[in-house]
Structure 1
Amino acid sequence: MSIQLRPTRPADIPFVYETEHAAENRPFLLPWTEERHRQALAHPDIRHLIVEETETGRAVGYVIIAGLTNPHGSIELMRITISAKGKGYGRQVLRQVKRWAFEEQQAHRLWLDVKEANQRALNLYLSEGFVIEGKLRECLKTGERYESLLILSMLSSEYRD
């Protein structure tokens, strides 16, 4: 099943919040409050999108992209969160975001961070051509333990190749 991206509306915020706080997603995110998501909808530097099945219009996730006003052409993929796992929606979203960033926005660089323990997402990013730039060692405290973030990016020249 194919997906489409559309701007998030205020009425979508409960779905976004629920998806973000789902047991299978929460360990891999730094969740926002509903109010923070609402603020992002009007922020000029952020693009907040709902992922929908094209055929049914059913919401299956959301995406947050930042850096729209970055003078250096560096766009951040802040978050892809999918509620319906194992259907290839994440890969489809990632490909649409890459196309948008490099073809429509003429970005020079698309980057993201991912928790080191999130192997499913890391494998997806690597298989789609992202390169690991570095590691922020034990930079996040979760309960009584620390987690590391990996920084990945793709340059426009790599996307074209």
Structure 2
Amino acid sequence: MEHITDDVLNAFSSPRLRYIRADASDAHFKAFIPQIEQDPVIQAFAAPTLLQPKSAKNMESYAENIASSLLGVAVCLLPEEEEEHRRRQEVAGLSEPSLREKSKGEEEDKKPTIIGIMCLGWGGIPPSEAHHRRAAIGISLARPYQNKGYGREAINWMLDWAFKHAGLHSVSICSVSFNPRGVHLYQDLGFVLEGRRREVAWFNRGWHDELEFGMTEREWEVLRGAKPM
């Protein structure tokens, strides 16, 4: 006999990833942030802010905004995926083989491998706007973990969380026109191009467009074959 809770047994993970709530006081979470915030390419794709090295205060503010979001998570590798990633790195000669003589205690104390940060409703949704039941997704993956399908998997997980558990009616995600991979990914995931703000992003001595993509609850239901509410 199936129970209504059977569907949420693995609600905080997907096939290769797990999602841990962002905590602005967690040293392990905060130690990861420079991998994305100090990467100029990730900066350029993630936000319209001025391209510049970030200070400790900037990164503290970033951590607080992620933690204050409707849902902010550290995107982490599941243990079996972590082992597979390590094996691929060793085969490619990109890392040293792991030390087999590690003690059991050391293995148990090992922190999860964070590969990115994702949020829904950056900084939190004001109560005066909650009735719209809408929020935007933001995601950044560290460079070694890009182009491996992790971003697609994580966004799909966040979409499911938004419509199945948070009761949202629409979810959006933005891109700049000089990020063709992002544009292709969002459309391939089922997002619909809803608007284009022309020449509003100044980057590398050129004007670029900002693109807004959206997905409604009904569109998600069709994609997932879910029963309409």
Q: Under TM normalisation by the shorter chain, which class is it? A: 0.7 to 0.9
- Using the TM superposition, name which of 52-61 and 7-16 deviates more: 7-16
Out of 54-63 and 129-138, give the one that drifted further.
54-63
Match of 2:209 among 136, 148, 160: 148
Contact 1:13–1:37 under 8 Å retained in 2: no
Match of 2:16 in 1: 2
CA contact (8 A) 1:4 1:51 kept: yes
Identify the residue that residue 73 of structure 1 maps to in structure 2. Answer: 133
Of residues 108, 111, 116, the one that matches 1:61 is 116
Which structure has greater strand proportion?
1
Within 5 Å, give how 1:1-161 maps onto structure 2. Answer: 2-10=16-24, 11=27, 12-30=29-47, 33-43=58-68, 45-55=69-79, 56=82, 57-66=112-121, 68=125, 69=127, 70-77=130-137, 79-83=138-142, 84-142=145-203, 144-161=205-222
Of the structure 1 ranges 19-28 and 52-61, higher mean CA displacement relative to structure 2 is found in: 19-28
Output the CA distance in 2 between the equivalents of 1:60 and 1:136: 31
Amino acid at match of 2:132: H
Q: How far off is 1:131 after superposition? A: 0.1
Distance 1:111 1:85 in 2: 21
Deviation beyond 4 Å, 4+ runs, structure 1: none
Flag structure 2 segments of 5+ consecutive residues without an equivalent: 1-14, 83-111, 223-229
Instruction: Please tell me the root mean square deviation across aligned C-alpha atoms, in Å.
Output: 2.0
| Deviation digits for residues 69-98 of structure 1 (CA, Å, limit 9, x no counterpart) | 522111111x21112112210011011010
Matched to 2:113, the amino acid is R
**Structure with max Cα Rg:** 2
Aligned residues: 159
* Identity percentage of aligned residues: 21
Structure with higher helix content: 2
